[in-house]
Structure 1
């Protein structure tokens, strides 16, 4: 019996053992990531937001952009960072009896780095996987420490992130002239260039994009620490609905208040003004996460969020698929819609793609254990081909018919 348990805890997490509320939260967060990427990076140059508007946007487009910037921008990414740290902590614990635990997790992050670099260089330079892999390699050794070390790491790196917003290193951010030149070239190349022209320009843009990552890199690591600390604190495994809802109300309320004060220019202190939005973003991400986990614990919540579980289980596959789809829609080698659509039109396309992924993910996981990229990731991590098809699995029927019930596991 003990040998069987040890063997199960030395191999990939069985789909039936996953925590459905976390998968559901990841699936919902993916919509926020899609919306921001689509409106601010695929539709137009990522640097256009730093320049004066060339022409006034339609009222509906302004409304969409305002809602996304205030309620979703960076919050979805912060939530994903938190979930990534929590996920590594789950893997770390699951492999507790494996003598090669550190090597396996190191290999997992190296594979992620390789896939991220492929995504970054060949598909889309808005990639976040490379940053996650590098941050994960820094974070990994600390998982061997006690819980207080995780809390200290979260506080240290998040404080460093907020400090960077006040005392920014000189010369780190691209100059206004460099941004202006890049936007002008992007409007030509992305809108009408061939695949090779787009890829060449994408690679030339990377030195301008790296500083954007450097500003948020400490936050990414800090949220990894915080996610691992949350897992070790049993907040997810043994959820307390009162605590979760109280946390949700407090974090959402305080986070929204900070952003409101910033937007309305109420803060007179330069330091407070600089950290209001970054701090509010972190608080809102925590509040969103607590809200969804708390709702998932309700009987009605299990039904309400069940559709997002397959999407969250295949988040890696769906994230990369979104890049391929949106590059084809907006770049010159595809439909060439770059710079032609307003925020509302682009978001409508994104929602249609997302809904398609919801149905595809549910269909796929009725037949297979993992998403295609998730399967590749696990196979490369363990160095042996992982089982893929559910056919012949004695639990296959249970998984096909009962995936909604996984919210309680």
Structure 2
């Protein structure tokens, strides 16, 4: 099923998309992608400095985790050290996350954002498309900048807003031009040229910076953390610039996928999804690290869509749909919660947890969000941030409560 056209005009408020007309499989896919984004963010960016991943010597030694042993047996103490300290168990989890999820979840999210842009374009009446989509992306940019500065400099919203503004003209273009643009931008990303043009700071800068981050983020006040975060943005910028062509290419690919119509009648294309997943997995074999991020994202997405469009798959994965419908709210809430958990103005656990406990915290937060999202959407049409985004986009307050 697909959402109906958003035939809003000056004579009435924009109508929200009816729940019965939503593409639930896309909501499910977005909710699961958000889990991957959460796992990578909490393990590699909130828990420790983002630059630690580029310093192999530091990755072999976790900060020493302390806990109260009390009257625990020696076997229980050994188990706690295996889970909470530097251990093969933690290194295995980190390796799995890095190989199977890191960057792939973000690539899948980028693809879905492109699909969302194309869906919005189709819902809006033609003469209002440009102004409303432009306003929508500018609001996203404003929220992203606030998130980037006040909560966390690993923000992706600002990049998505800028990429959305860049691909906006392609929404009016024919399919061949959208495909050519996607191919060109992904080719630029695969070439690695931007990595050579704009390298990261050297190890001589990273080593003392990681040490400073461990101190400031773990013990600093909000003002101290804010100042350090703002000073760090310039050093992080190359990471965003490296993947910006990939974001553009996947946005355009998402638009193209929506335009080809398979998502509108996903139940009729389950075989095609399975074949796409298999082809993407074959392409992943012996592929370079940049290509793998895209091929695995495509494989994950196609496989989840194939499963979610079966009766059994819908029962197994349907819980993720509310999380996906409120992905914007949940993403920002994760940043707010993790900043309190890891930064000095909260619990100050930055640099003091190994992989397993940090991931466990993230999983608990995600599980609570799944429960809260389902409860919220039983009474309201949108998540709080989604409602604000839509209201600012249309310039008028949107209906929020579901009529009894």
TM-score by length of 2: 0.89
Unaligned stretches of 5+ residues in structure 1: 260-275, 393-409
Aligned residues of 1:29 and 1:76 also touching (Cα < 8 A)? yes
Q: How many angstroms apart in 1 are the aligned matches of 2:6 and 2:294? A: 37
Q: How many angstroms apart in 1 are the aligned matches of 2:329 and 2:158? A: 15
Aligned residues of 1:161 and 1:215 also touching (Cα < 8 A)? yes
Unaligned stretches of 5+ residues in structure 2: 62-85
Q: How many angstroms apart in 1 are the aligned matches of 2:134 and 2:301? A: 27
Instruction: Map residues 210-249 of structure 1 onto 2, 5 A cutoff.
Output: 210-239=237-266, 240-249=269-278
1:196 aligns with 223
1:314 is aligned to 2:326: yes
Aligned residues of 1:82 and 1:226 also touching (Cα < 8 A)? yes
Partner SS for 1:137: helix
2:20 aligns with 16
1:162 is aligned to 2:162: no
1:126 is aligned to 2:126: no
Aligned residues of 1:252 and 1:288 also touching (Cα < 8 A)? no
Aligned residues of 1:13 and 1:94 also touching (Cα < 8 A)? no
* Matching residue within 33, 46, 49 for 2:50: 46
Instruction: Map residues 231-310 of structure 1 onto 2, 5 A cutoff.
Output: 231-239=258-266, 240-255=269-284, 257-258=285-286, 276-310=288-322
Partner SS for 2:349: coil
Q: How many angstroms apart in 1 are the aligned matches of 2:296 and 2:262? A: 18
Q: How many angstroms apart in 1 are the aligned matches of 2:380 and 2:46? A: 31
Aligned residues of 1:132 and 1:220 also touching (Cα < 8 A)? yes
1:182 CA displacement: 1.8
Q: How many angstroms apart in 2 are the aligned matches of 1:167 and 1:232? A: 30
2:177 aligns with 149
1:109 is aligned to 2:137: yes
Q: How many angstroms apart in 1 are the aligned matches of 2:372 and 2:216? A: 32
Deviations 1:277-308 (A, max 9, x none): 11011000001000011101111011111101
* Matching residue within 26, 31, 53 for 2:30: 26
1:348 is aligned to 2:360: yes
Runs of 4+ in 1 over 6 A off after TM superposition: none
TM-score by length of 1: 0.88
1:13 CA displacement: 3.0
Q: How many angstroms apart in 2 are the aligned matches of 1:335 and 1:134? A: 34
- Over 3 Å counting, the alpha-carbon distance change for 1:5 and 1:294 in structure 2 is closer
Greater shift, 292-301 or 233-242, is seen at 233-242
Q: Over the residues paired in the alignment, what is the CA RMSD in angstroms?
A: 1.6
Q: How many angstroms apart in 2 are the aligned matches of 1:282 and 1:156? A: 14
* Matching residue within 347, 370, 379 for 2:391: 379
1:181 CA displacement: 2.7
1:178 CA displacement: 2.1
Partner SS for 2:381: coil
- Over 3 Å counting, the alpha-carbon distance change for 1:132 and 1:5 in structure 2 is closer
Partner SS for 2:56: coil
1:363 is aligned to 2:375: yes
Aligned length: 370
1:273 aligns with none
1:148 CA displacement: 1.1
1:90 is aligned to 2:119: yes
